[in-house]
Amino acid sequence: MIDALFDLLGTFYQSGDLTQAEWIARSIFQAIPDDIVSLQFLGLLYYRTARRSEALQAFGAADRETASVAGSDAEPGDLLASTQCLRAASGRGSTLAGAWYDLGLLLFRLGRYPQALKALHAAQSARPDFVAARRAIARVAAFAAHRRALARQPYTQLPEVLPAQRED
């Protein structure tokens, strides 16, 4: 059932029917409220339909869900369902390869580099011959590594600023 819903989501997304794609993503999220995958696709669909603040809220909620799963707050059934959603959405031959790619680029633009890399890897998993995804993975990984290296460098001495002249 989950596989069919994600295939339908991918089909609507590829055809440009973002309203129906959003309806499917909402349906998946209502059925599996802790599903990070459907939250991310909702964020992408909100962004693509010029609802930026809703998109950022969806991505923020996905981040919180990721953190709670990492902190083991989730029930075993929730983890199983979320894993099934990820497998269905990124399995070889998934119709969501293009959506994963777009999501990866969007997350990169938003400065969410680890999530961007995961989305781009999902695009490549869904379609191993996806050359653009492979190139994007390399570029995002290099950019993220460069940003990490810059963050580790000590701050250089700032030039002295002349005090403002006072008129007494």
- Which backbone phi and psi does 66 adopt, to 5 degrees? -60, -45
Q: What is the rounded CA–CA span in Å between residue 20 and residue 7?
A: 12
Q: What is the rounded CA–CA span in Å between residue 4 and residue 89?
A: 10
Domain 2-150 has CATH 1.10.3470: no
Half-sphere exposure of 155 (CA within 13 A, CB side): 3
User: What pLDDT score does 78 carry?
Assistant: 47
Residues of the chain with pLDDT under 70: 66-82, 84, 155-168
pTM here? 0.79
Q: What is the rounded CA–CA span in Å between residue 89 and residue 82?
A: 11
Map out the domains of the chain as residue ranges.
2-150
